[in-house]
Structure 1
Amino acid sequence: MLLGVSLVSSVIVGVIGFVSGRESLRAAAVDQLTTIRELRTGELERVFGGVQTGVTLDSRNLSAQNASIALNAAFEEAQSRPLSEAQRAELEAYYVDEFNAALSDRAGGTYAASAFIPESTAGQYLQYQYTSKAYRFPGGELDFDTALDAGDAGDGSPWSAARARYHDYFQRIIDASGYDDVLMLDTEGNVVYAAYSGPDLGMNVMTGPFKDSGLAQAYRDVMATNSVNALATTDYERYIPSLNVPAIWVVSPVGNSERITGALAVQIPIDIINDVLTGDERWKEQGLGDTGEVYIVGSDDLMRSTSRLLVEDPEAYAKLAVANGTPSDLVEREVEVGGTVLLQPVTTDSVRLAQQGKSGTTISRGYLGRDNITAYTPVDIDGLNWVAVARIDTEEAFAPVADFTRNLVISTLAILLAVSVLSMLLAQVFTRPVRRLSDAVRRVAGGDLTVQVPAGARDEFGDLGNAFNDMSSSLRIKQELIEQQRVENERLLHTLMPEAVAKRYQDGEETIAEVHQDVSVIFAELIGFDDFTESLSSDDEIAQLNALMRGFDEAAERTGVEKVRTLHGGYLASSGLIVPRVDNVRRAVEFATELRTVIERFNASNEASVELRAGIATGTVTSGLVGRTSLAYDLWGDAVNLAYRVRSVDGRPGIYVSQAVKDRLQDGVRIVSAGRIETAEGSETVWRVE
């Protein structure tokens, strides 16, 4: 006894400690991930807010206004500087040999020599003087320093003079903020200045090859407001002048309260977003362990940031991405460019919930096919429909739970071992008086009920001796057998009828019947079961029927429905009979729907075509015991009869309900008229649950 109590106590304490500790550790992991999500998302929103504010201020200051006026006038003057045939050929050669070749290597495809040459004379002139000379690709890669630091072309044009005056101002903006590019546009959509003198210099975003770009739309939006306070931010899109690299643009009008002279457009680099989300690629120091990350997804379900695993282990990333369904050519492209922006699709539950405007946490499969804990939320940045997801592999996140469990099991086993050894030692002391009873017990077991044992000392063992003298072991055994039989009989009786009815029957009542008001009755019939079991043996047939009935019983337990009796091809149940329920109609319909699901699973597992035809009615019923020698608990009354009749109103499988049931159903249940039947009160419509 002492050993048993000690062992049980130790186990109970261990179980309680395990449950409490496990839940605490799991909650801590989720809370930490949620905190990281909020920190990274908040930082991203602050960074973008700062960029947007900075662009607005930069576009309104005097330097930008003066630069816009000077560059606009210089661009207009350059319209009178047409290229010679030799210069035109040289510009086309630049595109063929330099830009188009680099673009094809980066993005694929082929491009005509004149595809990106501006239509305007001024645009062609500026591209010849600056783009073809500064925007070069030694070794196939753009020389950013050469492009940004390019000096005066020495052509003596007003545009070169304006550029020489204001280029340093824009260059300082790029150096201070880390922008990829800065453009100045006039009021007609001409790019009158580009910091890197790329192929967008001199282009017209309203009519040129970039007229359908996000940059062009952002320009139209801000210029349409006619307000210097306007601001537009584009989502990522591939930008050809940057060799098809994804680009974000922030655009704001340039001018003052009196007039607007153009617009300032700033290209935001991918690194700004990645640095915020990765903490400069210090995931582990940010609390994300070995597998965690925070990533951004757009409304098109494509990533707007770079996957951590692609950065740390491209080979492992490629294997997991392909295994999870990402096309292999797309994965090869991601590995080649070293990024997943506008490439990797993410259609996880977390992304879907966040796109619905929800924030929360979940455990689900991630975009690489591994089980993740995720914390998701929409991102609040003007102009961008993004969501943020912080994730970490469940295996890593719950590793402390596994360690805790292992240590707890070891500790509990050690305690159990110590208690067992101590109990054995104490047992040697405590059981000495008991051994004196051993011979007497064996003699009583042999039928000698006159045996007596010395009373001994006046302690517990003395009391035990006195008790033994007053009781024979054979009588105890008989009593135990009688009690066991009584319990078994009572258990069997409860399987045949409800506990309250069984008690009345045990108390001696012979006629037991009870009227119940407001009870829903379900009569379910199996269609096609005999055809399915026609080729089966009797044992297999009853095994399949029992499998279905077990599913029905489990459905009844889940929905709070009382089983009345089971037939070979049917099932009678009620809701609100034993336990009155105000929602008995809803439970009855849910139960019938559950039966349909059970049958569908049965059909799928056994390649069967069994169908359900169920009738549901509500009203007054009578329950009670039928018969004397062979007792049966049954249910009868108008509601039972009506449930039996409505199920076969049109002969098709389905769930059919009476008018009374239909009247009490909630709007969420879709029902249609199935026919009419005649009742004692007249004709009644029968409804079918879809």
Structure 2
Amino acid sequence: MSASNGNLVLVVDDIEENLKVLSETLVQAGFHPLQAKSGERALQVAAAAKPDLILLDIKMPGMDGFEAIERLKADPATADIPVIFISALNQIEDKVRGFQAGAVDYVSKPFQKEEVVARVGTHLRLRTALRNVENERAKSELLLSALLPESVATELKETGTSEPRFFDDVSILFSDLVDFTSRSATLEPRVLIAELNEMTGAFDRIMRERGCERIKTIGDAYFAASGIPEPNPDHAFCLVGAAVAMLDWLEERNRTAPIEWKMRIGVHSGAAVAGIVGVSRYIYDVFGDTVNIASRMEGASKPMEINISGATLNLLGGRFDCESRGAVPVKGSEPLEMYWVKRTPK
């Protein structure tokens, strides 16, 4: 087998005959051996070749096996390589010292070839299984990071759960593409998804740059928040600034893109509850009247405009020029005070 199949074994022994016999035995069993005749040389080969396992003699001139394994385990580049001691030192004290130093196994000399092959094979299979587990864990953590806010994902990984939280002061944004349903019917699925991916990717970047959080997308709708899950006393200004940047980016894109889109945005500020929903599939979601009113702000907006509530206006501290629309009727609620946001901050 080739070294790329996880069968690269470094054999370390100062006696030439032992190196020869062990190497021949490993080759016959389908492994790929490397050789080193001293502890010093073993460190060099291990650092360069990154073997999958090391068979390490103990009694050698200069650096012995105990010092060699100590150096291997102290180096992050070689620390996780399993080491099997193979030695004529067969007292229980020697074996205990070997395991305490970090060895995964101990073979006494004179050795039986079948035993060496069996132990090497077992530990290589264990190493492969451990790598597979680590790879799957890395994939799971990457997926969690993509689905959940960073702090929530970290809490879930560390504790196995994430408690829902009440936030008394946040801002919520909804955006919606104008005439999306009718226009999407005329586009090939591949083109449609590519358009949405490009816009969503740009909006996500804008949110990250301003300390805001995309909660989710619902078709062409984009749902974001500021002050969740990390409190932000300036949440309204950050999210309105993100809304301005979203429209600016879309306008710039429309100058050269073959397909032009227009978008409505609405923002409202208030209290909300946020937490993970689902058991086998996680979704971080936000609930409450603030979310509902933000959605109504978007519904009452116009193409390429940002419509905000009086609650959001009061938190901006005059840092954006805003134009009053008066009390605007909304479905299922009393008329709400609304304001157009000018896109240039004061």
Structure richer in strand, relative to its length: 2
Q: In the alignment, which of 293, 312, 331 is matched to residue 642 of structure 1?
A: 293
- Counting only pairs closer than 5 Å after superposition, residues 346-425 of structure 1 correspond to structure 2 as none
1:604 aligns with 2:255: yes
- Counting only pairs closer than 5 Å after superposition, residues 525-674 of structure 1 correspond to structure 2 as 525-649=176-300, 652-674=303-325
- Counting only pairs closer than 5 Å after superposition, residues 226-237 of structure 1 correspond to structure 2 as none
Q: How far apart, in 2, do the equivalents of 1:465 and 1:616 lie?
A: 61
Deviation at residue 557 of structure 1 after TM alignment: 1.6
Q: In the alignment, which of 480, 488, 497 is matched to residue 148 of structure 2?
A: 497
- Counting only pairs closer than 5 Å after superposition, residues 205-244 of structure 1 correspond to structure 2 as none
8 Å Cα contact 1:532/1:609 also seen in 2: no
1:689 aligns with 2:341: yes
Q: How far apart, in 2, do the equivalents of 1:442 and 1:486 lie?
A: 33
- Cα 1:633–1:666 change in 2 (3 A) is same
Secondary structure class of the residue paired with 1:599: helix
Deviation at residue 432 of structure 1 after TM alignment: 8.6
Normalising by structure 1, we get a TM-score of: 0.34
8 Å Cα contact 2:178/2:303 also seen in 1: no
Fraction of identical pairs, as percent: 24
- Counting only pairs closer than 5 Å after superposition, residues 504-523 of structure 1 correspond to structure 2 as 504-506=155-157, 507-509=159-161, 512-523=163-174
8 Å Cα contact 2:266/2:301 also seen in 1: no
Q: How far apart, in 2, do the equivalents of 1:636 and 1:673 lie?
A: 27
Secondary structure class of the residue paired with 2:58: coil
Deviation at residue 666 of structure 1 after TM alignment: 3.6
Structure richer in helix, relative to its length: 1
Q: How far apart, in 2, do the equivalents of 1:642 and 1:586 lie?
A: 18
- The residue type paired with residue 486 of structure 1 is R
Aligned length: 256
Q: How far apart, in 1, do the equivalents of 2:224 and 2:125 lie?
A: 47
- Cα 1:473–1:685 change in 2 (3 A) is same
- Tell me: higher relative CO, structure 1 or 2? Use CA pairs within 8 A at least 6 residues apart: 2
- Cα 1:442–1:563 change in 2 (3 A) is farther
- The residue type paired with residue 339 of structure 2 is W
Deviation at residue 516 of structure 1 after TM alignment: 1.2
8 Å Cα contact 2:322/2:341 also seen in 1: yes
Q: How far apart, in 2, do the equivalents of 1:588 and 1:547 lie?
A: 20
8 Å Cα contact 1:444/1:473 also seen in 2: no
1:455 aligns with 2:58: yes
Q: In the alignment, which of 479, 497, 514 is matched to residue 130 of structure 2?
A: 479
Deviation at residue 682 of structure 1 after TM alignment: 4.9
Q: How far apart, in 2, do the equivalents of 1:524 and 1:689 lie?
A: 14
Deviation at residue 498 of structure 1 after TM alignment: 2.3
Structure 1 spans left out of the alignment, 5+ residues: 1-430
Q: How far apart, in 2, do the equivalents of 1:627 and 1:454 lie?
A: 54
8 Å Cα contact 1:614/1:655 also seen in 2: yes
Normalising by structure 2, we get a TM-score of: 0.64
Q: How far apart, in 2, do the equivalents of 1:665 and 1:526 lie?
A: 26
Structure 2 spans left out of the alignment, 5+ residues: 1-11, 33-53, 71-82, 86-102, 105-122
- Cα 1:475–1:639 change in 2 (3 A) is same
Q: How far apart, in 2, do the equivalents of 1:433 and 1:590 lie?
A: 69
| Larger Rg computed on CA atoms | 1
Deviation at residue 644 of structure 1 after TM alignment: 0.2
- The residue type paired with residue 283 of structure 2 is A
1:293-341 C-alpha deviation (Å, 9 max, x unpaired): xxxxxxxxxxxxxxxxxxxxxxxxxxxxxxxxxxxxxxxxxxxxxxxxx
Deviation at residue 541 of structure 1 after TM alignment: 1.2
Q: CA RMSD in A?
A: 3.3
1:464-508 C-alpha deviation (Å, 9 max, x unpaired): 589323433332232222222212211211211123433454434
In structure 2, the partner of 1:676 is 328
- Cα 1:667–1:499 change in 2 (3 A) is closer
Q: How far apart, in 2, do the equivalents of 1:542 and 1:641 lie?
A: 27
In structure 2, the partner of 1:468 is 84
- The residue type paired with residue 526 of structure 1 is L
- Counting only pairs closer than 5 Å after superposition, residues 69-148 of structure 1 correspond to structure 2 as none
8 Å Cα contact 1:617/1:661 also seen in 2: yes
8 Å Cα contact 2:306/2:341 also seen in 1: yes
Q: How far apart, in 1, do the equivalents of 2:69 and 2:313 lie?
A: 72
- The residue type paired with residue 457 of structure 1 is M
Deviation at residue 657 of structure 1 after TM alignment: 0.4
Secondary structure class of the residue paired with 2:84: helix
Deviation at residue 454 of structure 1 after TM alignment: 4.0
- Cα 1:684–1:446 change in 2 (3 A) is same
